[in-house]
Amino acid sequence: MNSQFKKGVLELVVMMVVSEADIYGYELVKRVCQVVHVNEGTIYPLLKRMTNDHIFETYLMESTEGPPRKYYRITSNGIQTMKQLKAEWIHFSDSINKFIKGE
């Protein structure tokens, strides 16, 4: 997939995954890659920025498989941002699809 296409939709995909349930970084990367293939190195800086922007909040939870894991939870601000981005994406993609189909 074109890297610019990925960049444009990645933030929305990440928000939608986190909105389903609190999730830790590695599991989030696996879930996002089911939709759009990206490297871990792309996701973690995005998570940091989105946490700084109050889209997500984090907390640590003990793990049976090693050190505590940092979990991400979407905030009420994040939910509103996600809804807005989703509506914009739907409008944008519908317009592009109609154009491509010659409608």
Give 18-48 pLDDT, tens digit per residue. Answer: 999 999 999 999 999 999 888 888 899 999 9
Q: How many domains does the chain have?
A: 1
Using a pLDDT cut of 70, give the percent of the chain over it: 96
Model pLDDT for residues 54-66, shown as the tens digit of each residue: 999 999 999 888 8
State which residues form the domain around 50. 9-101
Gyration radius of the chain over CA positions: 15
**Contact present, 20 and 72 (Cβ < 8 Å):** no
C-alpha–C-alpha distance, residues 13 and 22, integer Å:
14
Which CATH number goes with the domain that contains 43? Answer: 1.10.10.10
Please check whether residue 19 lies inside any domain of the structure. yes
Rounded to two decimals, what is the model's pTM? 0.88
